[in-house]
Structure 1
Amino acid sequence: MSKPLISIVITVYNEEDNIQPLLEATYSALDEIDYEVILIEDGSTDRTVAEVKKYANSRTKLIIFNRNFGQTTALAAGIDMAIGEYIATMDGDLQNDPTDIPVMLKKAMEEEWDVVAGRRANRKDGFVLRKIPSKIANWVIRNTTKVYLKDYGCTLRVYKAEIAQGMGLYGELHRFIPVLAKQQGAKMTEMDVKHHPRIHGESKYGLSRTFKVMSDLILMLFFQKYFQRPIHLFGGIGIISFMIGFLINIYLLILKVMGEDIWGRPIMILGFILVLGGIQFITTGIIAEIIVRTYFESQDKKTYTIKSVYQGVLVPAAGIQ
């Protein structure tokens, strides 16, 4: 198969009733584009695989997991398998509309964007259980990461392949893909896309994911600010903790010299905890620094990304040896 212009990565999990209309709509929308479709079947327990095999065309790949690994892992597998110059991601529940993909692709190519993110206009989801938590999460993520997109929950996005394949998706970080792309220096924009109500099946998400989002947000903030210098985080906390504990202990020592009984005072216990905690934080920072250096040096990774080099002609980064 020759290298297509775009690879469409679609994650599906227990979507047997959606497969036929999903594939038909996707093939129709991309009829005038050189494309491939990659479906990642994430451990479904229904007839999703059978339906894909029944309706897939010759440009469709099906990746079947032996169990449910989650959306992030499924997206990572599809992106790894993609061979297109651009990669589009979308959900398999028919709420994303594949007719938006050619428009997003055209925008990416003509305006030279690395990422074109979908923004769900007139979102067709429940107000209390879906829209309100989503708005809160979007506001928190936008204002803490300083990556100013309005809709982090929309899976429909178009990327340059080198950006998508360099993001390093692990755990459940698919919600933070724009942040991961921004860390690579991606030039990013957002545009309105269509959104449809779910017709078949059930949503795989609920309020319980709020805690996962907040946990992942802490991780992303660490990646943004301290991934290459963890000692600045742990060392800073450790030094503050140690100094407060040290001052408390000096204060208690003065009281002891003056003849006061200091045994059993809560402040004495606090002083010892802060000193020991400070030492542990500083030690953790040193160990984290060693791990980070091992991570980069053992794989010959760089702490920077070169997009291109001008040597009379523009040389893509991939061609740099």
Structure 2
Amino acid sequence: MDFSLVITVFNEEDNIHPLLQQIDSALSGYIYEIILVDDGSTDSTIKRIEELKNPRVKLIVFTRNFGQTAAMAAGMQAAVSDYIVTMDGDLQNDPSDIPHMLRKLEEEEWDMVAGVRKNRQDGALLRKFPSKIANKLIRNLTGINLQDYGCTLKVFRASIAKNLGLYGELHRFIPILAVLEGGMITEVDVKHHPRLYGQSKYGLGRTIKVMSDLILMAFFKKYFKRPIHFFGPLGLLCFAGGFLISFYLLIVKLLGQDIWGRPLLLLGITLILAGIQFLTFGIIAELMMRVYYESQQKKPYSIKKVVTFLQPVLDPSLADGKHPLHTPKAPMLELK
């Protein structure tokens, strides 16, 4: 099998038939499976899929709507190929881009190739403008310079895709998760089509969720394995500030002035308590990280490949100096 194609669908009854037709036409000559994950559709999406009886299709049906992240995770875990491709089920991604992305992944040894919707066919105010702002914020906060984080069309090595740890609504930050796993990522331009059937499941309401997840991703990128490096400096800075203020007020008190009720006194006490709290958070977070790795037998690293250099072992019957891999021993010198 050349690859596994994972597609998440939610109320896409009118898109199923043309979607599978496009895939069949664009990927002629490839051996692949199509994993359709229905994320709790309330229309006839499941019925339309079952009507086709496509031998390539593996259908996963959720009991209710768990979200696109959970659907993608389920599809990736069900894939059996060494390469996994993800795309939307709304006909806006073009399956004809997949062969080029696969070749780039194989020939240049990337772990993930992401699509960039150069001529994006979406509304400027509600979709494209918020997306540009979000992409810029993600680049600045994480240091991972991709142009289009929102494009679902991506190609992965299964070793990376199956270990992304997709929870909540982190599918928008898959490139960051791939980098955290040690993956090498790149991007290529892909085609994008306007939506013909159904309605978009996204709007301005997701902006707050994206911002919240972005803070989490920024923390994961820099401090996930050493949270004390985040909480420790904050705690020490607050504690030092509070200590200096308290020391100054102590001197003022010894000089005979009244310090009770001063805002500066409250600030000093608050900073000392905040410093203790931050340091405590850091220690607790460090302990939780050890529980996370050790209880699940996880490792704080990932291995891409192992290379061994074995010495040839020869049949003793060939030890006559004629075998090309045989090196005769040098004669021993007798010492007198």
User: What TM-score, normalized by structure 1, do the two folds share?
Assistant: 0.94
- 1:171 deviates by 1.0
Counterpart of 2:306 in 1: which secondary structure?
A: strand
Letter in 2 for 1:64: V
3, 8, 19: which one aligns with 2:16 = 19
- Compute the displacement of 1:56 (Å): 4.2
- On the 8 A contact 1:97/1:194 being kept in 2, the answer is yes
Task: Give the gaps of 5 or more residues in structure 2.
Answer: 311-336
Q: Which amino acid aligns with 1:217?
A: L
8 A Cα contact 1:116 1:158, kept in partner: yes
Could you tell me which amino acid in structure 2 is paired with residue 128 of structure 1? Answer: L
Residue 123 in 1 paired to residue 120 in 2? yes
From 54, 63, 66, the counterpart of 1:66? 63
Describe the superposition over 1:195-252 as per-residue Cα deviations: whole angstroms up to 9, x where unpaired: 0001111111111222211111111111111111111111111111111111111122
1:263 alignment partner in structure 2? 260
In structure 1, the residue matched to 2:317 is none
Please state whether the residue corresponding to 1:40 is helix, strand or coil.
strand
Quote the residue 1:318 is aligned against.
none
Which stretches in structure 1 are left out of the alignment for 5+ residues? 314-321
Write the distance in 2 (CA, Å) between the matches of 1:113 and 1:137: 25
Map of 1:316 onto structure 2:
none
What is the CA-CA distance between 1:184 and the residue it aligns to? 2.0
Letter in 1 for 2:247: I
Q: What count of residue pairs does the alignment treat as equivalent?
A: 310
CA RMSD of aligned residues (A): 1.2
Map of 2:44 onto structure 1: 47
Structure 1 residue runs of 4+, over 4 Å off?
A: none
Match of 1:292 in 2: 289
Aligned ranges 1:209-288 → 2 under 5 Å:
209-288=206-285
8 A Cα contact 1:38 1:61, kept in partner: yes
Task: Tell me which amino acid in the other structure corresponds to 1:10.
Answer: I
Identity value in percent: 62
2:105 pairs with one of 102, 105, 108? 108
Q: What secondary structure sits across from 1:151 in the alignment?
A: coil
Bigger Rg over Cα: 2
Amino acid corresponding to residue 85 of structure 2 in structure 1:
A
The answer to whether structure 1 residue 150 and structure 2 residue 147 are counterparts is: yes
- The question of whether the paired residues in 2 share the 8 Å contact of 1:23 and 1:56 is answered with no
Q: Name the amino acid aligned to 1:163.
A: I
- Measured in 2, the distance between the counterparts of 1:238 and 1:137 equals 30
Give yes or no for the alignment of 1:90 onto 2:77: no
Give the secondary structure class of the aligned counterpart of 1:218: helix
**Distance between the aligned counterparts of 2:82 and 2:101, measured in 1?**
14
**Partners of 1:264 and 1:199 in 2: CA distance:** 67
Q: Is the 8 A contact 1:115 1:186 kept in 2?
A: yes
Please, which moves more after superposition, 262-271 or 62-71?
262-271
For residues 123 and 284 of structure 2, what CA distance do their matches in structure 1 show?
Answer: 46
